[in-house]
Structure formats: C-alpha cells, structure tokens
Amino acid sequence: MCGIVGAIAQRPVSAILLEGLRRLEYRGYDSAGIAILDPAGALNRARTLGKVARLAEAVAETPMAGTLGIAHTRWATHGEPAARNAHPHVCRDRCLVVHNGIIENHEVLRRDQLAAGHRFTSETDTEVIVHAIYDELAAGGDLIDAVRRATATLRGAYALGVIDAKDPDHLVAARQGSPLVIGVGFGEHFIASDVFALLPVTHRFIFLEEGDLAELTRDEVRIWDRDGQRVTRPVTTSTISIDAAERGDYRHFMLKEIFEQPRAVADTLEGRIAGAHVVPESFGYGAPEVFQRARSVVLVACGTSYHAALVARYWIESIAGLPCTVEVASEYRYRKHVVPTDALFVTLSQSGETADTLAALRLAKESGFAATLAICNVPESSLVRESDLVLLTHAGPEIGVASTKAFTTQLVALLLLTLALGRAQSLDEATEAAMVTILRTLPTKIEAVLELDARIAALAETFVDKQHTLFLGRGEQYPIAMEGALKLKEISYIHAEAYPAGELKHGPLALIDDQMPVVAVAPNNSLLEKLKSNLEEVRARGGQLYVFADRDVPMSEEDGVTVIRLPETDDLLDPIIFTIPMQLLAYHVAVLKGTDVDQPRNLAKSVTVE
C-alpha cells in the first residue's frame, strides 16, 4: 500500500526521502514521487511510474536541493498506475500533498471544486485534498489551520503529509484511519508510514493516534487530538536495528525469512514458558481471569493470518475445549452477528494495520465482547494499541509480501494461547507439560525440514509450465493446503486452489488430468487412510500427485506419484512443519518463472485500505 515519507531539516533531504521510499518498497506500490522546496522558495517535483530506482534516476538527472520535502509510493486505488496519478499532488504551485488511504466523498468534493474553477490533472481521490487545503490557505491563516479546516470536509481514511511553498518552516501531518509515525531527530523531524523508512535517520518515534493533526518544525512537534486539544504523545525508542530489514546475502527477502524461522519461532517462545507451562501473564495484565471466564473464542483475520486462525480452531476446540469460530475480517465487519456471552475476540495480523482487521476489532469492542486479544508482529501497531490483551510474535521485520515467518510464529502464538486457555479451563497439568516439551523442539524440527530445500528446488521445475495446481489436506492440514495454494498463486501467478480432500468428488475431481499437479499434505495421523483413499481417486484419473508425507507414511513412489518425506515430528507440530515445504515450493517455482518474488504484481504487504 501507499508509503509516505517527509522531512524538515537543516540539511538537504532528497537523499533521505529517496532512501525512505526504498525502505517502504516492501509495502507494494506502482509509482513514486517526491517534492522538495528549494532554498529560493520554488517547488521541485518528480514523479515516475515503476520502481523507486527510476525516481532516483530522475532526481539524479535534475538534482533537488532543499531542506523540506515530501515523498510517496503509490498503490493505485482511484486512477490507473501512471506518473500523472502519482503523488505528491499540487495545487497552483503552492500546496503539496501526499496521501495514504481513500477519500470516500471525493466525487462530491471534485464536482464542487471543478465548479469553483480548480483544474484536475489526475483521476485520484487524493487531488481533492490538495485543492481543499489550497482554498483554505487562500482564505487566510497558516498551513495547520488550513489542513484542520480542509480535513474536516473529508470522509474516509487518510494519512497526510502537506507542505506550503510559501512556508519553508512547517511540515503538517494528519492521521485518520491510516498509520503515520513522526521521527524525532536533532534539529530535524520526519514523517513516515512506518518506522523502517526512518531508521537511517532516527530511532526515536512518536506514533500518532487516530484523528491527530501534527505541525513539525525543525525544532518542535506540536500535536492536536481529534477534539482539537493540544496533546503530548510519548516518544518511544525503537530497538529495531537499521539492517534488520536488509536482505543480506540472500537472493530474496522471502528466502531469508523462510530460513529465519527457527530463530523467529525460538524468539516467540522465549519468556512465554516457565518450566513446562505457558505463562498466561505473557498475554497481558488480567489475562488469567479473562481465560478462566472465556466460554468461546472468535478469531478474525485476513490473508495468511486468516489461515493461521483456521488452524487454531482445531487446536482451541480439541485441546482447550472451547467453541471457536473463524472469519475473514472483511466479511465479519459487515455482518450482523450475535455476540456470545463471555467470548474472547482474537485478531491476528502481521502488520497490525490491516484496515479490515482493525475495523473488526473496533466493532467487537463496541458490540460487547468480554475481552479482545491481538496476536501481532508489530509492537507499535494500531491493533496492539487498541486491544485489551496482546501477544507479540517476535518474528522480526517481514519484508517479502508473501508471509512466511509471520505465519509460523502466529501458529506458535496460537499454540501458546490454546495451552493457556486450556489450563484455565480443563486441560490437566501433565498434558500441558507434555505439549510444552514438544513445542520446545520446534526450532530444531524446522531446521531439519529446511534441509529439504535442494530437493524442493528440483521438484519446482515440474511446476513451472503448469497453469493450475490443486492442494489437498484434511483436518488442520486443510488450512495448510490453503496456505500452500496462496503462496504459490501470489508469487508464481499459477492458479492454485485448496480443497479439503474429502470434497474432491464434489467438483474438483472433474479438473483432474495429467496436466493438473495435485499437492497433498499427508502427515501420519488419524486421517491418513481417509486422505490416501482420496489420493487414489486422483491417481485413477491420471492426476500427477506430489505428496508431502511423514517419514513413516506407507506410500511408495511410482508412476504419477512423487513422495517428499519430512523429518519425524509430533502431530501437534505438523501444521507448522508441513508449512515449510509449501513455502519453499512456491518460492522456487516463482524464482524459476522469474517473477518479482518479494513484490509480486498488484499486491501489497500492509493493506491499510479496505
């Protein structure tokens, strides 16, 4: 999604802004732009379609001097990806705006502004903001007042960075529905969509709250809340190292993040287990009481996080003994629902900024859930700040759009939740202890399964020229099949679907022929025989089977059947272990196909619009 960077400093800012944009590339975008106010008071602007590197080339050809500027990466919503639609947008060479979010009443505002004589040069919803601010500036008052009055006419979501060519000493920022952070330097201040953009210049941040308006000078930051009251927001120091979001020697971030999983999982477990028991207080103050009172659990998430929630339903019902429902946030938020008594509402999100998940949380808080819990990877995110209880996943920054380590650490967090909930209900101490002992072996087990990398890279060649792939699983492996299909389609662009294996004969069997690879997830559990029968149905129709199986699954390689053996593990860990080869398969197929693995077309990492 769109990324914003802005700076007001005593030194030239163009290189800082371009580096900030480069660090926001992972969010997903299609065009980029920058505007700098030069020492003579003239505005210089450059906008390009495509990568930030192209924008950097344009700036190198026509250097931009100046100590105040804003920059942006755009992910198209209104208006095609094109230089003319890229931000910053300008009004009459005076006022400039970068925007993340969607202005819902842009059509009405545009009509009125056209009637008032404004000329539009883009199809974006954003352009109405810059004209509205210009009109307020022209009516008198300074930039902050103009932005305050203009934003009062907007409906929808926005994070804004605004500058006025007649005022070289102020940068104004506003946040309503889209994240924005202020970077605090010495004699300089910055704004950005997330902290990664600013790590080369500062580690001190102010996280704006919903409805905040901020005025930045080189020496000061002044903030007003949604009621117009002057407020002080805390300055927090980020512990993320500047190179945490670097690729190192890996060819892609995704591969780096796949191989980071043993460490990420160990970090998620760290401090959450005492002896052989999960520490319920890890979820926050009051968690033990909430877990005791809980009579059911509702899990809500999007994308890969939703798949983690689907796995957790099996665990929460079978281990903790509580009824559990799971729903995608974009559906949940627009549905009338019955709030069960003493239900725990759980959101899962890597970023903690996914617009639909955040809206679902806010709805849940209004509608009377007993408590809300966020399982999230970003400590400063909106989801974390707005939930009663929190468990951070400690995966470290995830840059590849296709989620990998964030997913497996979510599963670990969900296992911890299951055990803490279970103990507060009826799970006996010995069973919990046995499961914790198994959980502690997970990092080593993941290391062992990563050794399959070369084997899977070779297997990937078979998939490169395929148009479609079917993924099958049963029980808690069905969501893992879904995750395998999602990974493959999002980065290799091969159409992939997942089915619970028992559903094969209700439709998908009609698709089976020798051109349709079928990937099956087959741990040696109580459903294995059922799954094998389903796989026979595929074989009998000439389908090509690729079975990821436990070491001891009785199944032999023969014509049309390829078996990839996984190291021995325990049933409890199977969903996590079997995820790893799915990630590797998608990765290697995408590399062979030559797609943009880390930034697949049309997709965004942080989905801050609904």
Residues with a known catalytic role = 2, 605
Instruction: Select from 563, 528, 567 the least CA-distant residue to 547.
Output: 563
Tokens of 444: 């080593």
Q: Are residues 300 and 309 in contact, defined by beta-carbon separation less than 8 angstroms?
A: yes
Task: Give the x-and-dash track for 439-468 against ligand G6P (CB under 6 A).
Answer: ------------------------------
Of 90 and 302, the one with the shorter C-beta distance to ligand G6P is 302
Number of residues that bind ligand G6P (CB under 6 A): 14
Of 133 and 258, the one with the shorter C-beta distance to ligand G6P is 258
Note whether 305 binds ligand G6P by CB under 6 A: yes
The bridge status of strand 31-37 relative to strand 189-192 is unpaired
Of 135 and 490, the one with the shorter C-beta distance to ligand G6P is 490
Q: Give the 3-state secondary structure of residue 566.
A: strand
Residues 210 to 269 in contact with ligand G6P, rule: CB under 6 A: none
CB of 420 to ligand G6P, least distance (A): 22
Contact residues for 82 (Cβ-Cβ < 8 A; gap 6+)? 31, 49
* Count of C-beta atoms within a 10 Å radius of residue 250: 14
Stretch that binds ligand G6P, among 60-68, 277-285, 297-305, 472-480 (CB under 6 A): 297-305
Residues 554 to 593 in contact with ligand G6P, rule: CB under 6 A: none
CB of 231 to ligand G6P, least distance (A): 28
Of 215 and 257, the one with the shorter C-beta distance to ligand G6P is 257
Instruction: Select from 136, 261, 241, 255 the least CA-distant residue to 196.
Output: 241
- Report the DSSP beta bridge partners of residue 47: 33
Rounded CA separation 418/278 (Å): 10
Instruction: Select from 494, 484, 555 the least CA-distant residue to 521.
Output: 484
Rounded CA separation 381/351 (Å): 7
Cis peptide before 88 (omega within 30 of 0): yes
Q: State which amino acid sits at residue 301.
A: A
Selected binder of ligand G6P within 100, 124, 351, 418 (CB under 6 A): 351
Of 177 and 543, the one with the shorter C-beta distance to ligand G6P is 177
CB of 582 to ligand G6P, least distance (A): 14
List Cα–Cα distances, 172 to 10, 20, 360, 362, in angstroms. Answer: 17, 18, 30, 27
Is the CA virtual torsion 285, 286, 290, 291 positive or negative? Answer: positive
CB of 148 to ligand G6P, least distance (A): 31
Stretch that binds ligand G6P, among 88-96, 301-309, 548-556, 589-597 (CB under 6 A): 301-309
Tokens of 457: 């890279």
Of 387 and 534, the one with the shorter C-beta distance to ligand G6P is 387
Selected binder of ligand G6P within 8, 21, 607, 609 (CB under 6 A): 607
Note whether 404 binds ligand G6P by CB under 6 A: no
Of 395 and 549, the one with the shorter C-beta distance to ligand G6P is 395
Note whether 492 binds ligand G6P by CB under 6 A: no
Instruction: Select from 530, 288, 531 the least CA-distant residue to 422.
Output: 288
Selected binder of ligand G6P within 34, 360, 401, 450 (CB under 6 A): 401
Q: How far is CA 207 from the centre of its chain?
A: 18
Selected binder of ligand G6P within 88, 177, 303, 397 (CB under 6 A): 303
CB of 265 to ligand G6P, least distance (A): 17
Note whether 599 binds ligand G6P by CB under 6 A: no
CB of 205 to ligand G6P, least distance (A): 19
Neighbour-count burial for 385-420, b at 16+ CB within 10 Å, e otherwise: ebbbbbbbbbbbbbbbbbbbbbbbbbbbbbbbbbbb
The bridge status of strand 296-301 relative to strand 324-328 is parallel
Rounded CA separation 413/418 (Å): 9
Stretch that binds ligand G6P, among 41-49, 156-164, 512-520, 601-609 (CB under 6 A): 601-609
Q: How buried is residue 276: exposed, middle or buried, by Cβ count under 10 Å (0-12/13-18/19+)?
A: middle
Note whether 477 binds ligand G6P by CB under 6 A: no
Stretch that binds ligand G6P, among 31-39, 141-149, 274-282, 349-357 (CB under 6 A): 349-357
Give phi and psi for 43, each to the nearest 5. Answer: -90, 130
Residue nearest to ligand G6P as judged by C-beta position: 303
Tokens of 146: 């103009």
Rounded CA separation 589/77 (Å): 29
Stretch that binds ligand G6P, among 7-15, 345-353, 440-448, 557-565 (CB under 6 A): 345-353
Note whether 304 binds ligand G6P by CB under 6 A: yes
Of 75 and 190, the one with the shorter C-beta distance to ligand G6P is 75
Of 350 and 492, the one with the shorter C-beta distance to ligand G6P is 350
Note whether 408 binds ligand G6P by CB under 6 A: no
Selected binder of ligand G6P within 261, 268, 349, 569 (CB under 6 A): 349
Note whether 302 binds ligand G6P by CB under 6 A: yes
Note whether 354 binds ligand G6P by CB under 6 A: yes
CB of 479 to ligand G6P, least distance (A): 13
The residue ranges that bind ligand G6P (CB under 6 A) are 302-305, 349-351, 354, 357, 401, 403, 603, 605, 607
